[in-house]
Amino acid sequence: MIAIYPGSFDPITLGHLDVMERGCQLFERMIVAVLRNPGKTPFFTVAQRLDQIRLATQHLSNIEVDSFDGLTVNYAKLRQAKVIIRGLRVVSDFEKELQMAHTNKTLAPEIETVFLATSTERGFLSSSVVKEIARFGGSVDHLVPKHVALDIYTKCYGKTQPDSAPTATNPITQMSPSVEQQA
Catalytic: 89? yes
CA distance 154 to 152: 5
The active-site residue out of 16, 49, 131, 135 is: 16
Q: Which among 86, 83, 10, 94 has a CA at the least distance from the CA of 53?
A: 10
Q: Which among 156, 164, 160 has a CA at the least distance from the CA of 138?
A: 164
CA distance 106 to 119: 30
CA distance 27 to 98: 21
The active-site residue out of 49, 86, 122, 127 is: 127
Catalytic: 127? yes
Catalytic: 147? no
Catalytic: 54? no
The active-site residue out of 22, 89, 105, 155 is: 89
CA distance 59 to 112: 27
Catalytic residues: 16, 40, 89, 127
